[in-house]
Structure 1
C-alpha cells in the first residue's frame, strides 16, 4: 500500500473515531484518550493533529461538509425539499448531527471564529436555498437580495442565541434537534412575513 493511501486511511479512521467521541460527549467531554481506547495509537493522532482542538475542528469540518454534500445529493436524487433532506440527514447521521448542533449553536468560545469559517459549505448551500425562496416572492421596494441575506444571517444568529439560552434539562438529542428545526422554521417564517397583520 502506498504511503499516501495509508495516510488517508489513518486520517479517515481517526476522524471516524473523533466524530463518534465528540458526537457522543461534545467538545467539552470528548477526550483523546477515549479515542485511543478504540485502538488508535496516540502517536498517530498527534502526528496528524496538533491537539484536541485541531482534531475537533477537523471533525467539525468533515461533519459540515458531509452534511452539505448529503443534503444536496438527496435533493437532486429524490427531489425532496431542503427541509426534508435536512431531517433525513439528522436521522441517518446521528453523530455528525450532534456535532453540527453543538458547533452551530453553542461552539467552544475559543474556536468560534474557526468554526464559522468551516461552515462555508453549509453557508453556501443555505444561501442558494434562501435565494430560491426569495425568487418565489416579491421583495418590498428598497430591499435588495443582499440586504435580505444579511437580515437572514442576523436572524439565524439571534435564533441560535435564544435556542442556547432556552436549553431544556434532560432533553435528548432527537428532541433537541427536532425543536431546533421546527422552531427555526418558525423564525424564518416570521422573518419573511412579519409577526403582526398590517391594518389598512
Structure 2
C-alpha cells in the first residue's frame, strides 16, 4: 500500500478540484457555473473544496491562470517564425484540441466577471505581452510609412485589439452559440490584423 504524504495528498486533491472546475467553467462559463455542480458531478465533498479554496472566484481565477499559462507555453513551443498567419493557425489548433480551455479563455476575453477584471488583467499580462512582442517582431519585417514609427504601430495595435474585443463582447449577449462566436472571433481577428498591417485598398 502506498501512503501519500499530506502535501502530496493536498496536491492531488487540488488537481482533482481544478480539473472538475475546468469542465464546469468550460461548459457553463463563470456566470452559470456553480460549486454545487462541481461537487455533484464529480463526487467531491463541498467541505473539501472550501478547505482548499475560499470561494468560486478563487477557483475560477486558478483555472484562468492555468489556461493562459498553457496557451502561452503552447504558442512559445510551436511559433518559430515571424508570420502572423502561422501564429493564428497555432492558436486555432490549441483551441480546437482543448475546447474547455478555449471556452474559459473566451469567457475571460468576451464576458469577464466585472468584479474580477483587475485580477484577470494581471493574469493575462504575460500573455498580452507575448502577443505584443510577436506583433512587434512582425512589424520589424515590414517597411513602415515614413510617418509611422514602431511605438505608434504598437499603440494602434492596442486600439484595434481593444475595439475588436468590445465589438465581440456586444455580440456575446446576442449570440447564444458561444462556439460559433469563438470561431468567428478567431477568423475575423486574423483578418482584421492583416487589414491593419496591409490596408484595405489595392494600390497599383
Q: Tell me if both proteins adopt one fold, taking TM over 0.5 as the criterion.
A: yes
Structure 2 partner of 1:99: 104
- What secondary structure, in the 3-state scheme, does the structure 2 residue paired with 1:81 have? helix
1:172: how far off? Answer: 4.7
1:159 aligns with 2:159: no
1:101-116 alignment, distance < 5 Å: 101-116=106-121
- Aligned CA distance change for structure 1 residues 170 and 51 (closer, same or farther; 3 Å): closer
Alpha-carbon distance between aligned partners in 1 of 2:128 and 2:176, rounded to the nearest angstrom:
30
Give 1:58 deviation, angstroms.
0.9
> What 5-or-longer segments of structure 1 have no aligned partner?
none
* Aligned counterpart for 1:21 among listed residues 21, 24, 33: 24
Would the alpha carbon gap of residues 197 and 112 (structure 1) be closer, same or farther in structure 2, given more than 3 Å must change?
same
In the superposition, the TM-score normalised over structure 2's length comes to 0.86
1:34 to 2, 27, 37: 37
Between the aligned partners of 1:126 and 1:48, the Cα distance in structure 2 is: 33
Q: CA deviation at 1:191?
A: 2.1
How far 1:156 sits from its partner (Å)? Answer: 0.8
What residue number does 1:169 align with?
Answer: 175
Partner of 1:184: 189
Return the offset for 1:196.
Answer: 4.3
Greater alpha carbon shift after TM alignment, 5-14 vs 50-59: 5-14
Query: Shift in Å at residue 190 of structure 1?
Result: 2.7
Poorly superposed stretches of 4+, deviation over 4 Å: 196-199
* Equivalent in the alignment of 2:126: 121
Q: Does 1:137 align with 2:152?
A: no
Taking only aligned residues, the RMSD between alpha carbons, in angstroms, comes to 2.2
1:111 Cα deviation from its structure 2 partner: 1.0
Per the alignment, residue 12 of structure 1 pairs with 15
Give the match for residue 57 of structure 2. 53
